[in-house]
Amino acid sequence: MSGYVLAIDQGTTSTRAIVFDGDQKVVGSGQKEFTQHFPRSGWVEHDPEEIWETVVETVRQAIGKAGIEAREIAGIGITNQRETVVVWEKEGGKPIHPAIVWQDRRTAAYCDKLKKQGLEKTFTRKTGLLLDPYFSGTKLSWMLANVKGARARAARGDLLFGTIDTFLIWRLTGGRSFFTDATNASRTLMYDIARNAWDEELLEILRVPPAMLPEVKDCSADFGVTQASLFGAEIPILGVAGDQHAATIGQACFEPGMVKSTYGTGCFAVLNTGRDIVRSKNRLLTTIAYRLDGETTYALEGSIFVAGAAVQWLRDGMKMIKSAPDTGTLADQADPTQDVYLVPAFTGLGAPHWDPDARGAIFGLTRNTGPAELAKAALEAVCYQTRDLTDAMHRDWKNDGTETVLRVDGGMVASDWTMQRLADLLDAPVDRPVILETTALGAAWLAGSRAGVWPDRDTFARTWARDRRFEPTMDEKTRREKIRGWKEAVKRTLTVG
């Protein structure tokens, strides 16, 4: 069988499809952005039909550019924006409402209500998550309560729920497969990560009928085959993982203590804790890193809602730059005597603060502040927030004293300026891999290894290659002063104690 593997990377702002050959090299790809809908302040929606169209289009592009036929592809791996909710009709597959995106904050009041009822400890004990609008469960509950007739239809078994992976599997297989994987399930507020099962008590609290929920499989498993009419032949779907879990796999972070951080629309740092469920005392998330061959590996995760999105804001909202790479050039030209801090709480603050009502703010402006200083502040905000996460991780996870090296990936890591500032503020080495498409690579490995055309886990880990290591060069006094200024800026932004 051919070693070709197709990865579908369905992200927050665009969909990508990448064909890898047997040597794990990219031989064809397609990418397409789709519309972001903001119906109200703090609300973010996607059109599931538009997402579906971009998947079909980009897969066809990738196969065409690779110069191969669909029958030569050994398997498909899917990775997706997590926590984004779709509900669709069991008959016909039509969505009943726009997809509610992970960034959406409309359920903040509902989360507060559940907290006041003393239920957060119940959710955290079972799911490893906090009661925050970020996660899927309250979004689903909102949809059932606010779409006319939805709750009754769901109770009758007429409606299905899924995160984006489940919706795509359903569509790709023509409605024959209704599955998700353990990583996506673990982000819903409805899944007991210790028992690896949907939890009846949590479903009852959220008023979600169990019949709506997909079957949960390992990350590498048989998820069905695509309809031949879509791409010219049936292709087995053999791997599924949420984007941050797929990136953890693609970065070969298979050993406890290894850390990766992905810089896309948001930023997500994941620390592998092995078979141990580590309960965070510093408001990090306990989650499933991946589940392979029935064995669950756990992780601590820190979630930052705005990373690359701050650069997009400079480009699309403020019209200060023409393209994302311009920020690094501008930051290099910034006045080093100005300490400008951007707290990018455009949709609230994630870990370790978890303040959904916080909003963005800029501190330290002077008459001399211009686009260069704001670009620098936007890039530094990502680094400061990462420092907040790694500090919390060090408090929760007592390592053996060995140096922590951060493996990084995502669009922002192409910026040498940002990666050097990250190493400086972390006071730790930062490793950028040769293959930056680690999320897609992780999804491809899940499928390729399942198909038997790609190497096993240990061999795959040995193929990981570093492009460049960034070592810290900032003096300790400067680092302390800059971090103190950041903490003060965040303190002024928070709305919770």
Task: Among 213, 243, 273, give the residue marking a domain's end.
Answer: 243
pLDDT of residue 59: 97
Asked whether 299 and 289 are in contact (CB, 8 A), the reply is yes
Return the structure tokens found at 491. 């303190």
Same domain, yes or no: 51 and 147: yes
| pLDDT of 158 | 95
Using CA atoms, how far apart are residues 441 and 436, in angstroms rounded to an integer?
9
The DSSP result for 153-180, as a single string, is HHHTT-EEEEEHHHHHHHHHTTT---EE
Alpha carbon of 157 to those of 151, 180, 212: distances in Å?
10, 18, 7
pLDDT of residue 327: 82
Closest C-alpha among 229, 234, 284 to residue 396: 284
Does 248 map to a domain? Answer: no
442 lies in a domain?
Answer: no
**Would you state the pLDDT for residue 496?**
66
pLDDT, position 46: 96
pLDDT of residue 401: 52
Domain boundary among 223, 243, 263: 243
Q: CA separation (Å) from 421 to 170, 184, 316, 349?
A: 43, 32, 24, 22
Q: Structural domain tally of the chain?
A: 2
- The last residue of one of the domains, among 185, 218, 243, is 243
Which residues of 282-379 form beta strands (DSSP E)? Answer: 285-292, 295-304, 341-343, 361-363
Residue 208 sits in the same domain as residue 303: no
Residue 113 token pair: 């209500």
470 contacts 433 by C-beta, under 8 angstroms: no
Q: How far apart are CA 356 and CA 71, in angstroms?
A: 47
- Domain housing 229: 4-243
Query: Per residue of the chain (497 residues), what is the pLDDT tens digit?
Result: 578 999 999 998 899 999 999 988 999 999 999 999 999 988 999 999 999 999 999 999 999 999 999 999 999 999 999 999 999 999 989 999 999 999 899 999 999 999 999 999 999 999 999 998 989 999 999 999 999 999 999 999 999 999 999 999 999 999 999 999 999 999 999 999 999 999 999 999 999 999 999 999 999 999 999 999 999 999 999 999 999 999 999 999 999 988 999 888 888 899 999 998 999 888 899 999 999 999 999 999 998 888 888 888 888 888 877 877 788 888 888 888 899 999 998 888 888 888 878 888 999 999 999 988 998 999 999 999 999 998 889 888 876 555 678 999 888 888 899 999 999 999 999 999 988 889 999 999 999 999 999 999 999 999 888 999 999 999 999 999 999 999 999 999 988 65
Residues 44 and 73 in one domain: yes
**The total number of residues written for the chain in this structure:** 497
